């Protein structure tokens, strides 16, 4: 009798423990939804942590959006359970609001979805060169949305690949009088000592339309300093 009560309590404890394991160990989602924000097949670069998508899943009593941030090169990804999700593009962005802003996505395993958008402006033919402590940038701005106007054009220099309006080490703005759409444009700046001493810097150009608060950026480029 004495022994059996000990065995019983051990058994109870063990069953409680194994129950606990079952209750709080959910399997992590294995599927991935990924893709890019694209215009004419090219990813649209944005500010890190700035522009985002939202995923919604119907069928639950309460709804909570899942924020999916877009990285600096226009890619996004999210680990999800298999199911049907609504992908919504909202928030401030350098592209015009999409007429049909909800995309229904069925996630089965690894799913890739590209979201086509229409940026207000795009940057083209950009190239960056360094000579001494001077950094030169060549690029062209093409207007995509007819009623958009350029409000700012800026050159960003940073010591990390995440360089944009939110974080940068050096920034110069182009004179509004010099901004000509569709023409080859150039900017140059003298790097401050903190950057000029580095082996390389990361550079990109951003253009802000008067219709939104977020810049459209060129791809980040690594420029070796002489």
Q: Up-side HSE of residue 20: CA atoms within 13 Å toward CB? A: 6
From the list 16-24, 57-65, 105-113, 183-191, the region that binds another protein by CB under 8 A is 57-65
At closest approach, how far in Å is the CB of 88 from another protein? Answer: 10
Sketch the per residue contact string, 134 through 163, with another protein: x for CB under 8 A, - otherwise.
--------------xx-x------------
Q: Taking CB under 8 A as the rule, does residue 56 contact another protein?
A: no
Q: Which stretch binds another protein (CB under 8 A): 13-21, 29-37, 123-131, 209-217?
A: 209-217
Residues in 58-117 that interact with another protein by CB under 8 A: 62-65, 90-92
* Closest distance of CB 50 from another protein, Å: 8
Closer to another protein at the Cβ: 120 or 128? 120
By beta-carbon proximity to another protein, the closer residue of 57 and 169 is 169
Binding residues vs another protein (CB under 8 A):
49-50, 62-65, 90-92, 148-149, 151, 165-166, 168-169, 171, 209-214
């Amino acid at each position: 009798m004495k022994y059996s009560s000990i065995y019983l309590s051990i058994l109870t404890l063990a069953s409680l423990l194994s129950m606990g394991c079952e209750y709080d160990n959910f399997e992590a989602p294995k599927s991935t939804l990924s893709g890019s924000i694209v215009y004419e097949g090219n990813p649209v670069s944005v500010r890190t942590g700035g522009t985002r998508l939202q995923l919604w899943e119907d069928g639950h009593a309460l709804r909570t959006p899942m924020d999916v941030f877009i990285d600096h090169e226009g890619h996004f990804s999210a680990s999800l359970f298999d199911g049907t999700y609504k992908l919504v593009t909202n928030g401030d962005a350098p592209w015009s609001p999409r007429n049909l802003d909800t995309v229904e996505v069925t996630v089965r395993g690894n799913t890739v979805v590209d979201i086509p958008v229409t940026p207000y402006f795009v940057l083209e033919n950009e190239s960056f060169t360094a000579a001494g402590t001077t950094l030169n940038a060549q690029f062209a701005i093409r207007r995509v949305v007819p009623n958009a106007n350029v409000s700012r054009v800026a050159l960003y220099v940073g010591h990390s690949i995440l360089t944009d309006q939110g974080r940068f080490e050096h920034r110069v703005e182009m004179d509004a009088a010099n901004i000509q759409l569709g023409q080859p444009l150039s900017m140059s700046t003298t790097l401050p000592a903190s950057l000029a001493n580095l082996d390389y810097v990361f550079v990109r150009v951003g253009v802000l339309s008067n219709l939104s608060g977020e810049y459209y950026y060129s791809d980040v480029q690594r420029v070796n300093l002489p």
